[in-house]
Amino acid sequence: MSAFVAVASCVAAPPKDAVMEARIDSLLDLMTLQEKIGQLNQFNTAQFDTLSAAVAQGRVGSIINEVNPEVVNRLQRKAVEESRLGIPLIFARDVIHGFNTVFPIPLGQAATWNPDLVEEAARIAAIEASACGIRWTFSPMIDVSRDARWGRIAESAGEDPLLNERMGVAMIRGYQTDNLADPTAVAACAKHFAGYGYSESGKDYNTTWLPLPLLADVVLPPFEAAANAGVATFMTSFNDINGVPSSGNQWLMRDILRDKWGFDGVLVSDWNAITEMINHGVAADKKAAALLAANAGVDIDMEGHSYPDAMEALVREGKLDENVIDDLVRNVLRLKFRLGLFENPYIDLSKPSPSYSPSHLAAATKAAEESAILLKNNGMLPLGKDVRRIAVIGPMADAPYDQGGTWAPDIQREHSVTPLAALRKLYGEKNVSYSPGVKFTRDISLDGIPEAVKAASEADAVICFLGEEAVMSGEAHCMADLDLKGAQTALLEALDKTGKPLAVVFMAGRPLTIKKENAIADAVLYTFHGGTMAGEALANLLSGKANPSGKLPVTMAKMTGQYPIYYAHKNTGRPPEWTVDLDSIPLEAIQTSTGCTSYYLDAGKDPLYPFGYGLSYTTFDISSPRLSSATLAKRSGEPLTVECTVTNTGDREGQETVQLYVRDMVGSLARPVKELKDFKKISLKPGESQVVSFTLTPAQLAYHGLDGKPIIEPGEFRVWTAGDSASGTPATFTLTEQ
């Protein structure tokens, strides 16, 4: 694998602060081996009885999951005032999509296609978390994820490397600001390095087999962007890549991350991942696991206990050079200096909590509004003035905990505004009836459906809130069947028989397979768990106070068996131009009568909805691309300008995301049918037009060969400017050598 070279020029390590490095070396010279190992240990606060003594003895470097600011100060005081060298602790937490004010899950934030909103959400999360002593979060997750069976797709920015890159960098900026020493700054963590989103069969922690071109072109670019953005930490992934667990992968962690990308921050294992190399079958015991991880450059052992249990013996036996440990400790100390913890270790308990401030709630509402994707609308939405009585139905209509989604450990359900509460506030208590129909999303009982049908029959319009509870997505919550669970579909079918206008709002942690439900509904609004203010955002959208602008960050399949499915697929030698439906095949048909091309007899060739898709209450026209030249010179350095005119052709102000796609028509390796190269989200008033301009450079057209080396090949390219990955009329240009 050593042949891999990144397309972008290798980034040299940022100039180190000479004074800081001198302080690090001076401190390191004073440390015993046991104290050095202590800095490499991250323990969970659940072991509080023994933790306090271990901190005072210098055997703990960081603590995870303590959010009580008084306890944080007490433990910090043990480290700073009672340990021999007074080295402060770092307190860490999974602040994934908000702290107390919970924002949409990362997949939902990606659906906004608005990096500025994502940055603001991370900034607010950092302000709230740091007030409780949290100075390190394990976010952003920038695993490219193309299989919705994998529960952790909820934490990603979806299937495209560029979208993951843009959203990840925005989060890093929001968490860290431009000054990590700011008391409200939180160290970000690019995870999971690497390939975790490609777990076989969409099953968590599973193995991956990734050839170099796929790693270099799809998996690694978001991580390189994170390193270039100055992310403070990286986290190893649980999976092995081609048989090598990430926590012991020297090529990935040293050759790529450290040497080629110049990363000088902290590399932390995922929870127990070092010790789990025993389960992988590459280490016989904790000693072997610790040796692999240390030599790979993993600085911190998160709750694995291989470093504290085995590292000292490895040095004593001559198997591990203490200089290797010194380098790991330097990285940890450097992060603590950069965070300003030596100068400002404690939380000011006299300050009021910033959580749930009006500005934070307003930002959460805005993010939830822009994350919602209007998939279908026959004119039912927004609700008209003639709608006076609304029936709110479904298990997700009043689920204050579950609307927070996965990895929201600090959500306070009493602060969650549900759709039912928001709609009643907006339309009046008497005008909004409520019947869940089924008690929760997995409920198989049909007993509540008659009451829901009665409520629907008495209303002018029906809004049905379906989906999945928070616990059904996220880490270790994978699904082999992505259809709606329980009696939810039966509920919807019963509501449809009332003949009343019927809108369905989905609230889920992943793209579910909703082909049947989509066909029934008059309108479909799809949301990825929207957080604290999801209800208010949805009420604004349903009523027309806000206009949907979300776009799918993932391809939405018709059936689970289509996964993994993604827009940037290869064409194959037999791409389908037409398909034959399974039910239309006559008896005793000959083998070739259905066409010998690449499609499913029961699902066809297309998804339910393509990547990048999303409607609005207005309409937009995006012109075909206009190019500044018919050629792009490989060596001149002059970029190609691609522009289009976008016009709001409807009667409402709205936002459109203009997406730039490119296809390399002929390459040494087969190339994807489309690749996203840029996007811009703009707002237009009715009748207004705007010219949107992009630039393309030869570097953006590069890809990697089988040997891992970058290729920029002259030839014909097509380029689209469109509102989704399946639309638009392309223009053509030629990349030339000169």
- Domain locations in the chain? 359-543, 620-736
pLDDT score recorded for residue 720: 98
Alpha-helical runs (H) found in 317-357: 322-338
What is the reported pLDDT for 95?
A: 98
Q: Which residues lie below 8 Å from residue 357, measured CB to CB, with a gap of 6+?
A: none
Least Cα distance to 283 among 309, 265, 258, 259 occurs for: 309
pLDDT (average), residues 183-205: 97
DSSP code string of 531-587:
-TTHHHHHHHHHHTSS------SS-B-SSGGG-S--SS-B--SS--SS---GGGPPT
pLDDT at 621: 98
- Rg of the chain in Å (alpha carbons): 27
Extract the runs of DSSP E, i.e. beta strands, from 201-287.
233-236, 240-241, 244-245, 266-268
Residue 11 pLDDT class (50, 70, 90 cuts): very low
Query: Domain 359-543: which CATH class?
Result: alpha beta
Average pLDDT of the segment spanning 255-282? 98
**Beta strands 640-648; 620-622: pairing state:** antiparallel
Residue-wise pLDDT for 97-115, tens only, equals 999 999 999 999 999 999 9
Q: Best-predicted range by mean pLDDT among 45-49, 145-149, 707-711?
A: 145-149
Q: What is the pLDDT of residues 482-514, one digit of tens each?
A: 999 999 999 999 999 999 999 999 999 999 999
* pLDDT band at residue 604 using 50, 70 and 90 as cut-offs: very high
**Two structure tokens written together for 261:** 């990308």
Structure tokens, 338: 């950069």
Mean pLDDT of 432-458: 98
DSSP string over 670-719: --BS-EEEEEEEEEE-TT-EEEEEEEE-GGGG-EE-TTS-EE---EEEEE
Is residue 309 part of the annotated active site? The answer reads no
Upper half-sphere CA count for residue 30 (Cβ side, 13 Å): 11
pLDDT number for residue 612: 98
Instruction: List pLDDT tens digits, range 508-548.
Output: 999 999 999 999 999 999 999 999 999 999 999 999 999 99
Residue 399 pLDDT level (bands cut at 50, 70, 90): very high
**Per-residue model confidence (pLDDT) at position 15:** 63
Whether the pLDDT of residue 85 is over 80: the answer is: yes
Query: With helix as H, strand as E and coil as C, how does 358-425 read?
Result: HHHHHHHHHHHHHHCEEEEECCCCCCCCCCCCEEEECCCCCCCCHHHCCCCCCCCHHHCCCHHHHHHH
Give the pLDDT of residue 49: 77
Domain 620-736 annotated CATH 2.60.40.10: yes
What is the dihedral angle through the alpha carbons of 567, 509, 368, 555, rounded to the nearest 10 degrees?
10
Out of 147, 270, 402, 443, the active site residue is 270
Quote the mean pLDDT of the chain.
96
Reported as a pLDDT band with limits 50, 70 and 90, residue 249 is very high
Backbone region of residue 634 per phi and psi (left: phi > 0; alpha: psi in -120 to 50; beta: other values): alpha
DSSP code per residue over 130-169 = HTTT--EE---B------TTSGGGGGS--S-HHHHHHHHH
Take residue 547 and report the two structure tokens written for it.
């206009």
Cα–Cα nearest to 449, from 397, 398, 394, 396: 394
pLDDT above 90 as % of the chain: 96
pTM of the model: 0.96
Phi, psi of 640 (to 5 degrees): -95, 130
- Grade residue 738 by pLDDT with cuts at 50, 70 and 90: confident
